[in-house]
Each structure stands twice: as C-alpha cells, then as structure tokens.
Structure 1
Amino acid sequence: MTTAPQHQGPTVADYGAWSSPLTPAETVAAGVTLREFGSDGDDLYWLESASDDVARLSLLRSRDGQIVEITAAPMNVRTRVYEYGGGSWGARQGTVAWSDDTSGQVMATSLGGLTMAITPVDPNYRYAAFVPVPEHECIVCVREDHSAPGEPILTIAALAWPTDDVVPHAGTVLVEGADFYADPTVNEDGSIAWIEWNQPAMAWDASALRAGTLVSIPELAVMHVHTVFDGQHDPGSPVSIQHPKWASDGRLLFMSDAAGYWNLHMWTPTRGIRQLVDEAADGDLPMWQQGRSAFALSGGWIYYASWDAGICSLSRVPAHGGASEALTSVSDVDGLASVGGTAYALVTRPNAPAAVVSIGAEGMRIEHSPGVLPDPKITSVAHSLTFEGKHGQVQSWFFEPHNEDFVAPAGQLPPVILTVHGGPTGVATDEYDPQVQFWTSRGFGVLSVNYSGSAGFGRAYRERLRGQWGIADVDDCIDAAESLLSADLADQSKIAIMGGSAGGFTVLAALTRSSVFSAGICRYGIADLVAMQEGGTHKFEATYNDGLLGPWPQARKVYEERSPIHHLDQLHAPMLILQGLDDAVVPPQQADELAAALRQRSLPVSVVMFAGEGHGFRMPATRTRVLNDSLSFLSQLFGFRPAGTVEALTIENLPGAAH
C-alpha cells in the first residue's frame, strides 16, 4: 500500500528574503520593448527591441498575420529630435521612411523594395514624424537643425523621394518661424496640418493647430496657411492641441483639452470645430515624443484610449459623433491603427507583456506578444489606492508582495519601495513590468504614485504642480507613505523611496523633508536646480521649469530654495546614489556633493558611477548592476539575507544604520 504524498505548503521566510527566479540579468533581458505603433494600407508597423540586442530597435511589419523585420543590424530605428525622439518611422502607400540612429541618416524603402539613404551623414540635422507623400514625391517631416550656434531651429521640411538616382540632401524647408513643430499630417488632396508652439510653453500647456495646402508647382511649398485653433493666444486660458490626423473624407481629427481634458475633436473648413467626445477623462497623454497615433478610424467608428482617474480603457465613438462606449480595460496604450476594417492597438497589460491586439465590440484579441508570459505564481497585479493628500486626492498603484512558494511570519509587515515616476509630467500605470516583479516576487511591496502634476487626470491635476515642483509632489509622496502605514500595508522602519531624473529630484527633496522614509535610491537625480538652469539644457525643456518653479532668472530664489543640494544638512536616511559619468544634465559632481553630505552626517551611503552612461541607463550590464546593487543595499539596511546569488555592495557607515 502506498501513501499519497502530502502537499508541501509555502515556506515561511521574511519578506525580502524570498527566492525568485527573476535574477537581475533575467529581469533586464525580459523587458521587451514595443512602441511607435501605426499602419499603412494593409500593413501594421511598430518598433520592437531586437532579439540579438535589447538596446537596438527594429522596424517590424505585419501583413496578413506574417511579421517581417524591415530593418536589420546594425540599424537602430530611433530619432533624437527634442532629445526624447518618437516619430522614428512613417509609411504611406508602401513607401517607408525611418531614422537610423547608427548613421544619423533617414533611410527609405520604395514601393519596389529598394532601400536607400535620402539624407547625408550630417550630425547637424535630425528628423522625425515622417509622412511619405507620393502625390508630390517627397517625404514631409519635422527637421531639427543644429548647424548654427545657439538653440536648434525646428521646421517642417520635405525630404527627397526614394528613386534609383536619388541624391541625399538635408531637405527643403516648408514651414518655419515657431519654436517647435510636431506631427505633420498630409491628406491625399494636398491638405497639410501640424502642431506648433512657442516657449515658455510645453506642448501640453499651449499649442496651435495650423493647416495649409502642399503644392509642388513651381516648387515644393505650403500655401494658404491658416489657423484651425490657437491655444496660445490667450495666456489666461491656454489650450493644448495634439496629434492631428486627416480622415479620408477630408475631416481633420485631433485631441484638444479646451474643456479640461484631452478629448477627440474634428474640423472641416465649412463647419469649423466640433467636439466628438465629451468625457471627464483624458483621451491622450502629454506629447513628450512625436508620432503617437492617438486614435484610429475603422468600420464607422473612431477607436481611442481613455485615462480616467488612473484607469486606462480602450473606447470607441461613432465616426461622426454620438455616444462613446468603453470596450476593455488595459494598463496603457502606445498607439492605435486600422487595417482592413479592423482596429488594432499596442497595449500594456497588468499581468502580461505588451501586445499588439485587435479590438472590437467584444473586447480585444492578442495578435502578437513577444515577451515571455510571466508565471502567475510570482506575478503581482496592482490595485488602485486613492488617498486624500494635502493638495487633494491622489491615485497610486500598489503591487503587493506575491510569491506562492513563500509566506511571511505571522504579524510581519513587508518592506515597501515607493517609486517616483519621471517627467515630472509623466504617469504611473499598473502595467506588467519585470523590474517591479523583481521586487514583489522577493517579498517587497511597490507603490507607484501619480502625484500632483501627473498625466492622465486632466489639466487641473497637471496644473497642481505649476509653481509647486518640490512641494506638491513631495507632499503627495510623503502622504502616500503615511497612508500605507495607516492601512498596515508596510513596515514603518522599511519604506524606501526610489526615482530617477525628475523622480530623483523628488526623492532627494522628500529625504530632506520627512523621516517616513528609511532609505533612498537615487538614479541621476537633479540636486541643484540653479546649476542645471545655468548650465543650460536642450531646447525642448529649456523653459519647462518656468511653469514648474517660476520664470528664470526672476525666480532664482525659488530655484535655490527648492534645490535639495542646499538642504543636505537635513538628510536623515541612508542612500544609494547611481550616476552616469557622461551625464550632461546632472553632472557627476552633484552626486559627489550629495555623498559627501551623507558622510558628514555619518549616514550609510554607497555611490556607484557608470562609465559610458548619460542621463538614463541604457546598457543591459548597467541596468543589471543597478538591480543587484539596489537589492544588496536594501537587504543590508533592512536586515535580511537575499536569496540567490547577489553580489554584495559596499556601504560606507553601515554600522550606524538602524535595523
């Protein structure tokens, strides 16, 4: 007689010490990138991280379900317009143009399949937002000209059409005069429209939508330019217009936040502007990058994304207006497109990697998802937490510790990492992210906060950070941590705060303001706002701080008061400082000054500098090291031994750390 084996229950282990199959290297490798989704005729296109190099992006095309790679190594499809890029490719009637970051050239594939360079190798010029126009044998785009001293000049330009005898050249200027241009769109009848705006506004503050006619006789030019809507003319009531697109029937569709939220609008020369969607929800996100396809027309409907109080949904509205309907919830939407009467979207999801999906009244169906499907036994799905902060209601996403093979001792509360998104005009979502699961599968909680100023909550919420950066965002993060404690969701002695760039600024400011955080992890964080302003930054963000802090240099005192570097004597918590040696935005000496202040106060500190890295870590080896060192840092501070092979990080002044 045999005895059935007894069920082995989960292992009892301290939070943070749970064993996870997600090693630092595997976590970085699992992060497959999909972005810049769109269509042309019967083809879908998107960018995807190459299988042979996760740092390289390839342009993929899907036709009748068959996916092929348009670009091959060493080509890296990326543009550096505005530094943040976007709009790296464009296609029309089978002609495809894209920006190759390796050579800096614009490449094009003709309808016959011939690929060639249509711009010369010249680092003075950058290009984005490509619109092939076969009717005029040119490729319309946004051009950024760095050939003269001072700030670059942005224009809308026309590039050469790919032919056997094409002579690469830098393009012909079609539209000029504004500080910035974005997302030109050209209809088959030659109608052209675009977005433009001027400093000190950002695109999400105030912009104008203009239209004209593209002609090629006697030479390429844009004629009959007129204003569809100018959101800049009244400083007291600014309006942001984004992502225009011509419909085949001659209507111009676009997003406008004139009513307080980005909603879908249409314009015709005879009837003017009409609002198609009227929702207290954002149908768009701030235009940090060019080229996003914010909606798609298909089968008598317009499909779009909607962000309502942090929750993202795919929705649709009748093409000529009417009642809109939500179809299905997702985490985020990169873009939408239409092929053969079917609408598609590139989405992120709470419990699975990013995917290309088809969408309809019945919901969505997965068409392509190259990432490894995560094991549900170790996958934490976030839930929304809303709390009342000093500046109003704040939404956040809480990823609880989750690993079915482990359970914490009775009565123990988990360590929690509060993550601060960048921007600061950015957004935190509940999307599946291997770097979040790296922590939750080990017994950490992760709280992602959509602090005042975050996107996806309407203009009024974004405006809560106007003049208040370093105050409202910090207050909200402190209030979020205290809300976790009030709800018994975190160990009060084990709350860390982590962020990079603008998020790193909030980390530093929070650690000088509150003792609720037990540790900080700062990646290339901004410590000295005055030095950053005086040192200059790229044109796109040159006046960003005017809205966040105040006009420079009139508000210099505010910049000084908000700079964490002037309050380092108030630092109270151990810190891990991660910094690129080639960072032009946050010089490495700021990290050195920060570390010196921590040493002076005998606080535990570790500084890790990365050669070859700038403002943002790109190399897989760097990102792997960041995860390893962050885990080692917190495990030593919080008093547990991490499972698996973790290289020990040297921490100065560690004996003084409280456990």
Structure 2
Amino acid sequence: MGGITAPFGQWQSPISPTLLGASGVQFESIATSNGKIYVIEARPKEQGRGCIVEYSGQDGRDILPAKYNASNKIHEYGGASMIAYNGQIIFTDSETQDLHKLDPATGEIERITNTDATLRYVCTAAINASAGSNVGPEWLLAIEEDHSKPLPSQVQNRLVAVNVQSKEIVNVASGDDFYSAAQFSPDGSRVCWNQWSHPDMPWTGARVYLAKWNNGQVTDVKLVAGVPEKESVSQPRWGVDNTLYFTSDRTGTWQLYRTNVETLETKRLALNGLEDAEFSQPDWRLGNCTYAPLTVTSMIASYNKNTRWTFILIDLTNDTWRDLNVPVTDTIIIADTPLSDSKVALLGSSETSFSTLFTLDTAETVQLNAIKAASDFVMPASLISHPEHISFPRVHGTNQEGESHAIYYPPQNGDYQAPAGTLPPLIVCVHGGPTSMTGSGLNVTDQYWTSRGYAVVWVNYGGSSGYGRAYRDSLNGQWGLLDTADAASCVSYLNSTGKVDKNGVGIRGGSAGGYIVLQALCDYPDIFSGGASLYGIGNVRTLCDDTHKFESQYAFALLFEPGTSEAEKNRIFLERSPCYKADKITAPLLFLQGDEDRVVPLNQAEEMVGMMKKAGRESKLVVFKGEGHGFRRAENRISAVEEEEAWWKKALLKL
C-alpha cells in the first residue's frame, strides 16, 4: 500500500463522479457487414442517445445523423436495435419506434415502417435476391409490438416480414405472447425464431421453430425444441451449410445443439469436459450472442463457469475444442456474422479492461485486437481491485442447504493505507432480474468505491444465472426470502474471515436488487447499517398489477408455489412487501428513481417513503426527470453517484 495513512472510505481517488457518470459510452449492440463493424454507443453526454459508429480497421466514424437515436423498446428492455447487411443498416429510431434504412456511405435514411404510433418494431434479419431463388425482393424479419390497447395484458406481439420496396408487412408467426431471434437461412429457403407465452420467461420455457420461406410466404412450420416451463431454448442461429444451431438447458445447463432441418434430428455438441458449462445467458434483452459458426467445420463459442467466460474454437466434424486463452471474461456479445472464415467481432471486458470492441482471429495464431474501449480513462494498475469468486454457506433464512456465491473486491489504492487494526466498510451489491448474474469484468462503479477504501461484494444469490438451471430455479416460491438470506449470509461469511467492518455494512441494488435491499433492511436490521435502492420494488402486489407485459407474470412463479390458494397469495403479498413492514427498518435508506420508469413505476418508491415516514424512519427520495428504468443522462448519472456517496459517508462512515 501507499504512504498516506487515512481511514477506509476516506481515500482520495481520480475516479470522479463526473468520470463515472459522463465519461465514455455504453455499447448496446454490434453487427458486421462487408468487412466493417458497426456498434451502437449509448452516450450520456448526448442524453443517452444511441449513435451508430462504423469501424473500418482501428478508425471509427459516426454514421447516424444527430436527430436519430438508435434504440428500441420491444419487451421494454430493447436490445439489438440495428442489423447490418450488404453494407446497409436497418435500425429502430427511439422517437417513432419505426424501422429505418441507413446507407453508411451517404448518410441517407429511408423510413421503412410508417405505422400507427402505438406500434413498435425491431429488425432481426434481412435478405435479398442474392441469397437464392426463393427470396425475390428485399425482406426484413422483425418483431412487432402493438400497444394500441391500454393494459399490459392487451399488448400484442408477433413476428412479421417487411418488404423493403413495397413496405408490405406480412405475418410470420402470431398467437404466442413473445417472439425473438428470427433469422433467414443462408440459402434463403427457411426461417427460424424463438417464441414463448406466459407464464414463461424466455429462460424458463422458450421454444425454437422452423419454417419454409418463399418470398413472403411461410409454410411447414415445425417445433424444433423447447418445452413450456421445462426447457429454455435460446439463440437459434444458422450454420454456413444451413444446419440450425441453438442452446438448450434440457440437461441442466445451456448447452449447444445442432438440428438437421430436413429430418429434425437434433443432437447436443458433445464437448468433452464442458457438460456443466453455460453457453448462454438469460434473454433479458434482444441480441444475446455467445457463439458464431465460422465455416461448415468450425465455430467460435464462449461459455460461462463461476461467472467467468472462456472462448473456445470448436471442430464441428468431431465436436473437439480448444481453449483460445483470450483475456475477455465478461459482458460477452459476439457479432453473429463473422468477418471471415476465422475472424469475429465482439464486445467484452476483463478483470483489468472495461467493455471493449475487439476482433478475434483464430487463423494460425490467435490474435485479439482491441479497437475501442467504452471509457477513455486509463485505469492505473495501482487502483484496480481484482475480484475473488467466493462460495459461502447459508447461515440465514429457512433454507440453509448448499452454498451461495459472490464476487468480492477488496479496497485498493496504491497511494493509501488504512490505520493499523482497522477494517473497511462493506458495500453489498445485489443485481437485478432477479434472474441475472454479475460477472468479474472491470466495472468503474466498483472501482470508484474500492479506490476510496470501501470493500465491495456482488452476491450471485440463489436464482442467479451462470450456475445451472437448478440454482436458477431455486428462487421459485422464495423470492424475497432466499435471495435476501443469501445476501445476509455473505456478510456473515465476510465478517467471519475478518475482511470487513461488521458495523459498517451497506446494501445497494437496482430493480429486483433494490427489492432485496428493502427486504434485507426489514428482515436483517442488525446486519446492515444503510441502504440505497435504485428503482427498487417496495410492494410486490402493485408491481404485479402495474408492470409491463414482459414481466407481468414473472413474479408469480417467484412468489408462489404451484397450487397456492388466493388466501395464501394474499398473505405472501403482505409478507414479502417491504412497504408493509417499514417499521422494522432501522438503517437510513436512500431511493433513486426515474419518473418515467415503466418497469418499476415511481409509485413504488413513493409508497415506501411514505411508510418509512409514517414509521418515523429516515429516508430520502431523489427523482430524476425524464429517466426510465436506469439512468442514461450524464447530469443524472453524476447526481446519483454524488447522492449515494454522501449517503454512505453518513450511514457507514458516520461522518
């Protein structure tokens, strides 16, 4: 450690709120065409606008005129707001939610859909006559979401094909609640897609379908794989030879499969030693891509074990594989169209690098080339706190079987050391979802705290992804109990190892993570000294009534066992809603919330603050105008960090 002695939590750091909130960009999606790479950069300094940037070699240039914002709201979470093909871009504009065609060479834009303001679109694939005789005119595959009726349950989704020349829109698939990942086969003769209906989420029971395609006509629709509430199929994708690939968790983890489209014979890729690896992740947003076929005989894929992603090259002739030893371990999105027979573009991060645009070439020697990092800030090595994956026993709650998992970051600042015999305050972070996961990639927010002398731990509680379906399903019927107990057990474990100050433990989280914050402060008031809930859930009953269609039945399986009576449901709603037990909270509680949040509406925070005030408890609500589920504008992101830091100084450092 360095020569300056100062208490934990009071170290000076070059990572400022401005750097955290306004510097850099967030990569939203990636695509390739004609040897060029296209990414959408969400820019806080431009009010969160999604700008499309073209990279040719190391050089990037903005190609989207400033009046457009590439962003869609399908399923409310969006994702993959553009595709690239034949040197052209199809994107969704945020204001209209219509499809537009962009010519990168000229900057000219053509509006493809121009429909009712209640319709939303996102394009998933494009094809034209060059692909084969079955195609004819230029066609797009797109998801259409109809909000013409007021209730979330009345929102209608379907898969459509759009003729670029005539603007005709034809139905491809309808009748289910949700659709995603539609793709044309390389020869233009078939299409594939994912679909699912309530009560499923895509990670509990999505299915993949296959159909013949002939110039706007879809015939011979067949189910390939997937069972409602039992098997999740994700990422259907075509091989060069028209073999259909996808991931399925039928064996307990998301494994890779191939299907012969003529016979529908389906087999798992028998990758020796990787039977317990996860080759996919929950489809919260569109555009999930963790593998890409390169040739008839080769595929690049990435898999996850204990939150760490690893890249491999697969020989498809015999299902053998080799580790590419690539230092990209988190936040993986591969462009689904390769740059060549050996090369892909991808987005990813590592323990020492922020999210970065890379190319990965496997020809002869493996070459990883960094093109653009999300942040221009060069993190000094002396500031980087390296993560430690930990597994710990469950010692709280009613379910104390097995282990839970977390990623721990110790305080780290090369210029400072703490007084002898002192321990650092701890910020417990809990991810949203709850069906999600926190990986070990370099996150400037974590380093913001650790460089100031806080310890940080991210809890991958029961229900998190990345550890197999059984672990993911363990939260069913236990939401607000098992996850909260796992957070408390993590603190007890770290206390037992002497790593943290047990009298200075705070807990923070967003969305479902914010719900865990509130539940933890209610149920374990002796463990936590403060909390920060970012757009968190205080009343699970009203959440079920108010939230958007995609998640409108998500909470039921998390809260209730099958066959639960109405009376028991009412009891659980009360028991699991922090707003009804706010009097149990003893720690000060900060709420950060956007006023345009449709996922967790503002009324959740307002009701919770009202109940806190009624119980005589300390709280503060900060509302950010024009923000939804998460903060995109630079000034609001900066303000949120400043509010939270002031809160921790008071709650944990007692300053």
TM, length-normalised to structure 2:
0.90
Answer yes or no: is the 8 Å Cα contact 2:2–2:413 preserved in 1: no
1:208 equivalent in structure 2:
207
Question: Map of 1:111-190 to 2, 5 A cutoff?
Answer: 114-120=108-114, 122-135=116-129, 136=135, 137-148=138-149, 150=151, 151-161=154-164, 171-187=169-185, 188-190=187-189
Alignment partner of 1:430 is 2:440: yes
1:249-271 deviation line (CA, Å, top 9, x unaligned): 11001111111111111101236
Alignment partner of 1:221 is 2:205: no
1:346-391 deviation line (CA, Å, top 9, x unaligned): 1112112111223336463323325222122222221212212224
Alpha-carbon separation, structure 2, partners of 1:212 and 1:127: 22
Which of 290, 300, 320 does residue 286 from structure 2 map onto?
290
Alpha-carbon separation, structure 2, partners of 1:637 and 1:145: 46
Question: Map of 1:239-254 to 2, 5 A cutoff?
Answer: 239-254=231-246
Deviates more, 1:494-503 or 1:297-306: 297-306
From the superposition, tell whether residues 340 and 54 of structure 1 become closer, same or farther in structure 2 (CA, over 3 Å): farther
Answer yes or no: is the 8 Å Cα contact 2:240–2:293 preserved in 1: no
Alpha-carbon separation, structure 2, partners of 1:239 and 1:587: 31
Alpha-carbon separation, structure 1, partners of 2:442 and 2:476: 31
From the superposition, tell whether residues 505 and 109 of structure 1 become closer, same or farther in structure 2 (CA, over 3 Å): same
Alignment partner of 1:270 is 2:263: yes
Structure 2 unaligned residues grouped into runs of 5+ = 130-134, 395-399
Deviates more, 1:321-330 or 1:393-402: 321-330
Q: Which runs of 4+ in 1 moved over 6 A?
A: none
Alpha-carbon separation, structure 1, partners of 2:345 and 2:125: 20
Answer yes or no: is the 8 Å Cα contact 1:156–1:181 preserved in 2: yes
Which of 517, 520, 537 does residue 531 from structure 2 map onto?
520
Superposition RMSD on alpha carbons, in Å?
Answer: 2.3
Equivalent residue letter for 2:302: A
1:190-233 deviation line (CA, Å, top 9, x unaligned): 210111111101111012111111112xxx2211111112322x
Alpha-carbon separation, structure 1, partners of 2:18 and 2:571: 44
Question: Map of 1:429-468 to 2, 5 A cutoff?
Answer: 429-468=439-478
Alpha-carbon separation, structure 1, partners of 2:625 and 2:359: 43
Alignment partner of 1:563 is 2:573: no
Alpha-carbon separation, structure 2, partners of 1:96 and 1:591: 40
From the superposition, tell whether residues 202 and 585 of structure 1 become closer, same or farther in structure 2 (CA, over 3 Å): closer
1:547-581 deviation line (CA, Å, top 9, x unaligned): 21127984333222211112212112121122333
Which of 32, 42, 45 does residue 35 from structure 2 map onto?
42
Which of 62, 82, 86 does residue 69 from structure 1 map onto?
62
Equivalent residue letter for 1:267: T
The secondary structure found in structure 1 opposite 2:523 is coil
Alignment partner of 1:478 is 2:478: no
1:369-423 deviation line (CA, Å, top 9, x unaligned): 2522212222222121221222422221111111111110001100110001000
From the superposition, tell whether residues 33 and 589 of structure 1 become closer, same or farther in structure 2 (CA, over 3 Å): closer
Alpha-carbon separation, structure 1, partners of 2:44 and 2:459: 32
1:626-648 deviation line (CA, Å, top 9, x unaligned): 1111111121233466xxxxxxx
Question: Map of 1:267-416 to 2, 5 A cutoff?
Answer: 267-268=259-260, 269-270=262-263, 272-278=265-271, 279-298=275-294, 300-327=297-324, 328-329=326-327, 330-337=329-336, 338-341=338-341, 342-359=343-360, 360=362, 362=366, 364-372=368-376, 373-389=378-394, 390-416=400-426
1:649 equivalent in structure 2:
none
From the superposition, tell whether residues 35 and 316 of structure 1 become closer, same or farther in structure 2 (CA, over 3 Å): farther
Alignment partner of 1:259 is 2:259: no
From the superposition, tell whether residues 317 and 478 of structure 1 become closer, same or farther in structure 2 (CA, over 3 Å): same
Question: Map of 1:499-518 to 2, 5 A cutoff?
Answer: 499-514=509-524, 515-518=526-529
Equivalent residue letter for 1:264: L
Task: Tell me how far 1:518 sits from its aligned partner.
Answer: 0.9
1:238-257 deviation line (CA, Å, top 9, x unaligned): 11111111112110011111
Task: Tell me how far 1:79 sits from its aligned partner.
Answer: 0.7
Deviates more, 1:65-74 or 1:593-602: 593-602
From the superposition, tell whether residues 280 and 13 of structure 1 become closer, same or farther in structure 2 (CA, over 3 Å): same
From the superposition, tell whether residues 597 and 199 of structure 1 become closer, same or farther in structure 2 (CA, over 3 Å): closer
From the superposition, tell whether residues 336 and 303 of structure 1 become closer, same or farther in structure 2 (CA, over 3 Å): farther
From the superposition, tell whether residues 573 and 73 of structure 1 become closer, same or farther in structure 2 (CA, over 3 Å): same
Answer yes or no: is the 8 Å Cα contact 1:263–1:277 preserved in 2: no
The secondary structure found in structure 1 opposite 2:488 is helix
Alpha-carbon separation, structure 2, partners of 1:397 and 1:54: 32
Answer yes or no: is the 8 Å Cα contact 2:161–2:170 preserved in 1: yes
The secondary structure found in structure 2 opposite 1:478 is helix
The secondary structure found in structure 1 opposite 2:519 is helix
Deviates more, 1:365-374 or 1:283-292: 365-374
Alpha-carbon separation, structure 2, partners of 1:597 and 1:130: 45
* Percent of aligned pairs sharing the same letter: 28
The secondary structure found in structure 1 opposite 2:581 is helix
Which of 17, 21, 34 does residue 24 from structure 1 map onto?
17
Alpha-carbon separation, structure 1, partners of 2:77 and 2:267: 32
Deviates more, 1:544-553 or 1:274-283: 544-553
Q: How many residues align?
A: 621
From the superposition, tell whether residues 480 and 111 of structure 1 become closer, same or farther in structure 2 (CA, over 3 Å): closer
Structure 1 unaligned residues grouped into runs of 5+ = 1-7, 642-659
Deviates more, 1:68-77 or 1:278-287: 68-77
Alpha-carbon separation, structure 1, partners of 2:598 and 2:284: 19
The secondary structure found in structure 2 opposite 1:340 is coil
Equivalent residue letter for 2:414: E
From the superposition, tell whether residues 17 and 149 of structure 1 become closer, same or farther in structure 2 (CA, over 3 Å): closer
1:141-184 deviation line (CA, Å, top 9, x unaligned): 111122345422111112231x5xx6x56x22222111111110
From the superposition, tell whether residues 583 and 37 of structure 1 become closer, same or farther in structure 2 (CA, over 3 Å): closer
1:646 equivalent in structure 2:
none
Alpha-carbon separation, structure 2, partners of 1:370 and 1:511: 35
From the superposition, tell whether residues 271 and 422 of structure 1 become closer, same or farther in structure 2 (CA, over 3 Å): closer
1:89-109 deviation line (CA, Å, top 9, x unaligned): 112223321101133221113
Task: Tell me how far 1:19 sits from its aligned partner.
Answer: 0.8
Alpha-carbon separation, structure 2, partners of 1:465 and 1:183: 27
Which of 70, 93, 108 does residue 100 from structure 1 map onto?
93
Answer yes or no: is the 8 Å Cα contact 2:298–2:315 preserved in 1: yes
Task: Tell me how far 1:124 sits from its aligned partner.
Answer: 1.2
Answer yes or no: is the 8 Å Cα contact 2:580–2:611 preserved in 1: no
Equivalent residue letter for 1:215: N
Answer yes or no: is the 8 Å Cα contact 1:303–1:336 preserved in 2: no
Equivalent residue letter for 2:252: G
1:32-51 deviation line (CA, Å, top 9, x unaligned): 21132232342322212348
